[in-house]
Amino acid sequence: MHIFEELNYIDNSSLALGFFDGVHLAHNVVLKNAVKIAKKNNTQSCVITFKEHPQNTLSSEKVPLILTLDERINLIEKTGIDNLVMLDFNKYINIRAKEYLENIIIKYYSPIAITTGFNHSFGYKKEGSGQFLKENSDKYNYKYYEIPPYVIDGNIVSCSAIRNGIMLGDFILANKLLGYNFFINSTVTEGEHLASKIGFPSANINYSEDKIKIPFGVYYVIVSVLNKNYNGIFNYGYSPTFNNKDILKAEVHIIDFNENIYGEKIKISFITKIRNQMKFENKEKLKEQINRDIAFADIYKHFLHKNNFIL
């Protein structure tokens, strides 16, 4: 996949338009439709999007992102898209829908097809819409494809529904709508070794500021490190038992694992929440609870395999 940070000429493109935070199940339909049309017509597929979420420029109320920029790029590439154009939203913040269509989409990409989600909007004050693209399709000689809502178990797949699930710690819902397990990518850093002192060595990670935050608590996760997957117990929050109220920690205990992985890349995929963060009377009580957390993970793992869930 070729990545461009400025407008470029790609004639006869099959375009997909949208921000695609999460690259969830519905986004995949939009992106793969653009790829399918490109292959059918022996041309190139292309995504036009922005580096930053438009609302984070337009409003003081920031949208927490499901994916970092690099993660979004990686998942878009996996759909088979040929070209990714990632623009600076600030340069286009005041452009009208008609001008955006004529002077950007048509001028630079002369599309044979444009695919969007059912609720896509663009241009100054969101005046551009799917209906606008449809009305202009004959004039500019492209076909417009509007992908209808994608519904799973009565839930419309959307970034807002996924964000709500993540912020509530409901990964059963969030992962179902994403089509994969919500994850954090990081590099293992050295911590205070508090967990090691009670017999549960943990890998400390940096939780990206750009990433949506989960509730404080303990989670069953799948840990990908050194090209292998392991079960793990992830803790996010402070350390109330150790009277640590100042340092926010994100750490994972990898079950049945004992290797030095400082500086290694690590991926934490969230399966389900085990419990809220708790303060224990002493370290022994904390150790007993961690052993129960590990037992929970082991039981849950077998449940997932029995029911053919993908880990």
CATH of the domain at 139: 3.40.50.620
**Contact assessment for residue 19 and residue 53, using Cβ atoms and an 8 Å cutoff:** yes
Mean pLDDT of 155-168: 96
165: in domain: no
First to last CA, the chain: 27
Q: Are residues 197 and 144 in the same domain?
A: no
- pLDDT score of 310 more than 60: no
Report if residue 176 sits inside a domain.
no
Q: How far is CA 26 from CA 18, 61, 167, 196, 272, in A?
A: 11, 25, 20, 42, 23
Q: Report residue 115 as tokens.
A: 């695919």
Would you say residue 233 lies in a domain? yes
Q: What angle do CA 92, 94, 100 make, to 5 degrees?
A: 60
Contact in structure between 38 and 59 (CB atoms under 8 Å): no
The CATH number linked to 300 is 2.40.30.30
Between residues 282 and 46, which one has the greater pLDDT? 46
CA 30, CA 108: separation in Å to the nearest integer? 21
Q: Are residues 200 and 279 in the same domain?
A: yes
Q: Angle formed by the axes of helices 159-167 and 171-178, to 10°?
A: 150
109 and 206 in a single domain? The answer is no
Residue 175 falls inside a structural domain: no
Asked if residue 158 is part of any domain, the answer here is no
Give the residue with greater pLDDT, 284 vs 107: 107
Residues 23 and 85 both lie in one domain: yes
Please check whether residues 257 and 197 belong to one and the same domain: yes
pLDDT of residue 277: 85
| Domain extent for 266 | 181-306
Domain assignment present for 140 = yes
User: The tokens 């409003």 sit on which residue?
Assistant: 59
Q: Do 46 and 140 have their domain in common?
A: yes
Mean pLDDT lowest for which of 151-165, 238-252, 261-275? 238-252
Asked whether residue 281 carries a pLDDT value surpassing 80, the answer given is no
Q: What is the CA angle 191-212-225, rounded to 5?
A: 45
If you average pLDDT over residues 277-295, what whole number do you get? 82
Do both 138 and 245 map to the same domain?
Answer: no
- Region 222-243: mean pLDDT is 85
256/298 same-domain check = yes
> For residue 222, is it within any domain?
yes
Tens-place pLDDT, residues 87-136? 999 999 999 999 999 999 999 999 999 999 999 999 988 899 999 999 99
Q: What is the pLDDT of residue 55?
A: 87
| Number of domains forming the structure of the chain | 2
Q: Does residue 289 carry a pLDDT above 80?
A: yes
